[in-house]
Amino acid sequence: MNIWSLFFVFLKIGWLTLGGGYVMVPLFLDEIVKKRKWLEEEEFMKSLTLAQLFPGPIALNLAVSVGYRLKGLKGAILSALAVVIPSFVSILVIAIFFLNFQKLKVVQGFFYGVRPAVASFMVVAIVGLLSKYKWSFIRIAILLLLSFALIFLKINPVYVILVSLGVIILWVYFFKH
Amino acid sequence: MGVLLQALARVFFLIGLFGFGGGYAIVALIRHFVVVENAWLTDLQFIDVLAISQVTPGPIALNTATFIGYKMAGVIGSVVATSFSILAPFILVLSASYFVHNFGGEKVSLYLSLLTPLTYALVLSATYSIVKESILDLGGLVIFFLSLFLVYKYKWSLVKVLLFSGILGEILYFLFPH
């Protein structure tokens, strides 16, 4: 496999996936593991775990991780670019259009209708996540506590994230050794 | 670098650095920096960008970086915001891939399962603010429940629902001018 075929596979997936994020994961699996057999499924899952563990968009992290595994630093850079380029180009074109035409009644009417739909997508997403999760008393308590801090106390999410990470690391260190 | 470009670089670097959980979980973080802290977008404009990023390729975090960068400082702004948004994840994942054989699989999945309530709380708070800001009148409420119904019950694709609700919005907007 040469490095450019790696780049073009990621570029293809990048252009094809509207919405981004988790939508890309099955496509990566299909192209890289099943069709081209560049990685074993187990290797791929390891990269996916890494991608989820670290901050940043899953699709980008997965591309960097797989790219590095296959072609080292160059592979990681080209894979990251391949994920970024479709996103960058399409949004730039839309931003230029949108910012010039957002005052038009037609555009305003359209977005007036689209906004509640976006809200409904978020509701569907969170309901899906919450219903699949294995609940325990302590997890519900933590979720409620964190949500309360974010929504009603309006605490900066950065602090909430930092404190949570600190607690998780300490908890693992003291109770899981 | 100008003051504005520096601010864009700093904000999107931080969004990349603290963007745990990906996707909708990053939305709460982006909203905090972009709407609450810097007022680069209003809540309504922010929801418009989310709508746009549902129908364009690429992760939401990258889409918003490009859009806001362009809005605030033109093409250079979009390049700066986008590249700084991927800087931290790129370095972190790259170094982790380098050291990957030192990770015990069990430990990683333990950390992941412990992170889950945090990710969900972030998605929940983003959902709360977006629902609150996007449904401003009866027409909005009708569109909200209608699209909820179409996605949940009839499994319409998000693109189809956005198109449908956009057209419905046009009609309502035309019949009841704001």
What is the rounded average pLDDT for all residues in chain A? 89
Kindly state the tokens that stand for A147.
Answer: 């949500």
Per-residue pLDDT, B1: 67
A100 in reach of chain B (CB within 8 A): no
Tens digit of pLDDT for each residue in A37-58? 999 888 888 888 888 888 999 8
Please judge whether B57 and A129 are an interchain contact, meaning their C-beta atoms are less than 8 angstroms apart: no
Per-residue pLDDT, B104: 60
Tens digit of pLDDT for each residue in B94-153? 988 887 655 666 677 777 788 889 989 999 999 999 999 999 899 999 999 999 999 989
ipTM over 0.90: no
- B118-151: string of b/e by CB count within 10 Å (b at 16+)? bbbbbbbbbbbbbbebbbeeebbeebbebbbebb
Mutate one of A68, A89, A161 to test the B interface: name it (highest B CB count within 10 A): A161
Per-residue pLDDT, B63: 93
Question: Under a CB-based contact definition with an 8 Å cutoff, are residues B3 and A43 in contact?
Answer: no
Confidence of residue A129 (pLDDT cuts 50, 70, 90): confident
Confidence of residue B42 (pLDDT cuts 50, 70, 90): very high
Per-residue pLDDT, B44: 94
Kindly state the tokens that stand for A113.
Answer: 């209708």
Quote the CA–CA distance of B70 and B48 in Å, as a whole number.
Answer: 15
Model confidence at B71: pLDDT above 60: yes
Q: Give A 120-159 residues with CB within 8 A of chain B.
A: 120-126, 129-130, 133, 139, 142-143, 146-147, 149-151, 156-158
Structure-model confidence comparison of residues B149 and B55, the more confident one: B149
A49 in reach of chain B (CB within 8 A): yes
A177 in reach of chain B (CB within 8 A): no
Domains of chain B, by residue range, sit at 3-134, 136-178
Please judge whether B22 and A65 are an interchain contact, meaning their C-beta atoms are less than 8 angstroms apart: no
Kindly state the tokens that stand for A137.
Answer: 């008393």
Please judge whether A113 and B168 are an interchain contact, meaning their C-beta atoms are less than 8 angstroms apart: yes
Rg (CA), chain B: 19
Classified as helix, coil or strand, A160 is: helix
Q: What is the DSSP string of B29-70?
A: HHHIIIIIIS-SS-HHHHHHHHHHHHSSBS-HHHHHHHHHHH
Model confidence at A79: pLDDT above 60: yes
Alpha carbon of B73: minimum distance to chain A alpha carbons (Å): 12
DSSP code of residue B2: -
Confidence of residue A125 (pLDDT cuts 50, 70, 90): confident
Mutate one of A13, A50, A54, A85 to test the B interface: name it (highest B CB count within 10 A): A54
- If one counts every other C-beta atom within 10 angstroms of the C-beta of residue B114, the result is 19
A14 in reach of chain B (CB within 8 A): yes
- A106-142: string of b/e by CB count within 10 Å (b at 16+)? ebbbbbbbbbbbbbbbbbbbbeebeeeeeeeeebeeb
Please judge whether B143 and A161 are an interchain contact, meaning their C-beta atoms are less than 8 angstroms apart: no
> pTM here?
0.89
Chain A partners within 8 Å of B58 (Cβ):
14, 17, 20, 59, 83-84, 86-88, 90-91
Per-residue pLDDT, B101: 54
Q: Find the mean pLDDT for residues A159-175.
A: 90
Per-residue pLDDT, A21: 65
